[in-house]
Chains A and B, each alone.
Chain A
Amino acid sequence: MNDDVYVVGSSWTDVSGDTDLQLDEAVFASCSEALRNAGIRRHQVGFSVTSSLDLYDARSISNALTAPAAAAYLGDEVRVEGDVSNSIMLASATLVSGSVDFAIVVAVHVPEIGSVAEQDVRKLREHVSSYTFDSHLDRPVGMTSDVTLGLHAASLLDAGTVDWTEMTERTADDINRGARRSRPRRGPVSTTDVAQSPMTVAPLTQLMLPASSAGVGALILGLGVSARRCPQPLARLSGWGTATSRPSSDPRWLSDPWEAATTARKRAYARAGITDPATQVGSVEMTDLSPALSPGLLEALDLESLSGDRVNPSGGVRSNFPGIANGLLRVIEATENLDSGHEGAAVVHAADDLCGLVTSTSNVLVLEAP
Chain B
Amino acid sequence: MKDHAVISGVGLTKATSPRRQTMSKYELCRLAVDRAIEHSGVSRTDIDTVIIGDIAGFEASSVSAKTIAPHLGLSPMTTVIPISTGGTSGGHLPNQAATLIKAGFAERVLCVAPNTFDGPVDLQAVINTNSPMIMEQPLGMGASHMGAFFPGAYQDAYGISDEDLMMVATKNRADADFNPYAHVNSTLDDEHADRMISTPLRLGMTCPVSSGAIALVVTAEGLARTESPNPLVRISAHGSISDGYLGGKRRDFSKFEVVEIMARRAYRDAQILNPLDELDVAELFNPLAPMEYMLMEAFGLCEYGTAPQLVKDGTTRFGGTLPVNLSGGIVCTNPGLAGQIAPVAHVALQLMGQSVTRQVEGAKRGVAHSAGGTFFQFHTITLMERVA
Contact = CB atoms under 8 A, between A and B. Distances in A.
B245 A54 contact: no
Contact of B105 (A76, A79, A93, A249): A93
B220 to A, nearest CB: 12
Contacts of A355: 66
Given A60-B130, A131-B62, A90 B99 contact: yes
Contacts, number: 170
Interface in A225-278: 242-247, 249-250, 259-260, 263
A55 B242 contact: no
A71 to B, nearest CB: 10
Interface in A145-202: none
Contacts of B102: 93, 97-99
Most chain A C-beta atoms within 10 Å of own C-beta, residue among B84, B244, B378: B84
B177 to A, nearest CB: 33
Contact of A61 (B62, B63, B70, B86): B86
Nearest to A99: B99
Contact of B86 (A55, A64, A98): A64
A54 B63 CA distance: 9
A79 B77 CA distance: 22
Contacts of A95: 103
Nearest to B56: A54
A82 B81 contact: yes
Contacts of A76: 239-241
- Which of B81, B258, B377 has most A Cβ within 10 Å? B81
A24 interface: yes
Interface residues of A, number: 57
Q: Which size bracket describes the interface of B in this complex? A: 35 or more
Contacts of A63: 84-86
B82 to A, nearest CB: 4
B270 interface: no
A247 B58 contact: no
A65 interface: yes
Contacts of A354: 62-63, 66
A339 to B, nearest CB: 28
For B2, B58, B82, B104, the residue with the greatest tally of chain A CB atoms inside 10 Å of its CB is: B82
B66 A132 contact: yes
B159 interface: no
Interface string B98-112: 011011110000000
Max chain A Cβ within 10 angstroms of own Cβ: one of B65, B103, B126, B243:
B103
A33 B241 CA distance: 23
A39 interface: no
A24 B245 CA distance: 10
Nearest to B261: A74
A92 interface: yes
A53 B60 CA distance: 14
B222 interface: no
Given A244-B69, A361-B80, A78 B85 contact: yes
B138 to A, nearest CB: 14
A80 B373 contact: no
A242 B79 contact: yes
A132 B243 contact: no
Given A74-B258, A96-B103, A263-B77, A65 B245 contact: yes
B61 A79 contact: no
B47 to A, nearest CB: 12
B385 interface: no
A323 to B, nearest CB: 12
Given A59-B57, A81-B54, A359-B70, A64 B79 contact: no
Interface string B222-242: 000000000000000001111
Nearest to A358: B66
B96 A78 contact: yes
B183 interface: no
B83 A359 contact: no
A106 interface: no
A72 interface: yes
A294 interface: no
Interface in A35-70: 53-55, 59-65, 67-68
Contacts of B161: none
A60 B57 contact: yes
A297 B258 CA distance: 46
B309 interface: no
Contacts of B76: 246, 250, 259
A359 to B, nearest CB: 5
A309 B103 CA distance: 36
9 contacts: A59-B57, A59-B133, A60-B56, A61-B373, A62-B57, A94-B99, A244-B80, A358-B66, A359-B66
Interface of A: 24, 53-55, 59-65, 67-68, 72-82, 86, 89-90, 92-99, 128, 131-135, 242-247, 249-250, 259-260, 263, 354-355, 358-359, 361
Which 8 pairs, one residue from A and one from B, show the smallest C-beta to C-beta distance? A60-B57, A247-B70, A61-B86, A97-B102, A96-B103, A93-B103, A97-B103, A54-B57
